[in-house]
């Protein structure tokens, strides 16, 4: 797995697939972060942590299900993360703080290896920076009951499967409407929206570095 991490770190330092990989997971076109900033539209800075780690030498990442609540992201699958706070030095600090608060990922146990492309989430007006990190052992995840219903360990091999991307109608209670969208089928969980866009970009980069031979 060390070779995989080294190659991924190198790839994250170069040009990223960005919108090219996001497009297939978007129901409708959304503004880019640059467009939001140039137009002076309101937004909030935020970050998520995409942690890579081994289970029995098999590369994994982790997702989590949000609890049900009266909000636009109720019950959705996501990476740990949230909005930038005043005490955060930068968005890497935001991602690490949120991951610790939500699932007890300790910053001393992880190495930051790079970032994916930032993206804009219209319902919450977040511009999100995905931060990619590595731990050389499986963390002891401790979900915060207020923010996490359960953790979903996810082999990278599942993200790369040919049949992982599917399409379905999803009902949005907040808007009392149904949309048809592409999603990742992870352990029979529906991963869509911004998290699916991040997974699509990670998948594209892994394809480019021929990850399975590492």
**What is 175-193 written as a DSSP string?**
TTEEEEEEEEEETTEEE-H
How many domains are there within the chain?
1
pLDDT in tens, 113-150: 999 999 999 888 999 999 999 999 999 999 999 999 99
Query: 185 is in which domain, residue-wise?
Result: 2-212
Give the CATH number for residue 93. Answer: 3.90.79.10
Return phi, psi of residue 202, to 5°: -60, -45
Confidence of residue 26 (pLDDT cuts 50, 70, 90): confident
Rg of the Cα trace of the chain?
16
- The pLDDT of residue 72 is 54
pLDDT in tens, 35-78: 999 999 999 999 999 999 999 999 999 999 998 766 555 678 99
**Long-range contacts, stretch 189-194, CB < 8 angstroms, 24+ apart:** 189/63, 189/65, 189/77, 189/152, 190/77, 191/63, 191/77, 192/25, 192/76, 192/77, 193/25, 193/76, 193/121, 194/78, 194/119, 194/121, 194/128
């Amino acid at each position: 797995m060390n070779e995989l991490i080294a190659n991924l770190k190198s790839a994250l330092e170069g040009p990223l697939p960005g919108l090219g990989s996001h497009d297939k997971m978007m129901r409708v076109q959304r503004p880019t972060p640059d467009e939001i900033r140039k137009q002076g539209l309101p937004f909030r800075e935020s970050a998520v942590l995409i942690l890579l780690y081994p289970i029995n030498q098999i590369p994994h990442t982790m997702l989590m299900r949000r609890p049900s609540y009266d909000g636009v992201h109720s019950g959705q699958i996501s990476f740990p993360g949230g909005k930038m706070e005043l005490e955060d030095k930068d968005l890497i600090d935001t991602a690490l703080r949120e991951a610790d608060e939500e699932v007890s990922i300790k910053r001393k146990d992880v190495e930051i290896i790079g970032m994916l492309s930032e993206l804009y989430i219209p319902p919450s007006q977040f511009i999100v920076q995905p931060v990619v990190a590595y731990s050389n052992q499986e963390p002891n995840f401790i979900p915060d009951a207020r923010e996490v219903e359960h953790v979903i360990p996810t082999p990278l091999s599942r993200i790369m499967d040919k049949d992982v991307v599917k399409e379905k109608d999803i009902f949005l209670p907040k808007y009392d409407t149904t949309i048809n969208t592409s999603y990742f089928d992870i352990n029979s969980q529906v991963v869509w929206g911004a998290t699916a866009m991040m997974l699509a970009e990670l998948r594209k980069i892994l394809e480019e570095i021929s990850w399975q031979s590492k």
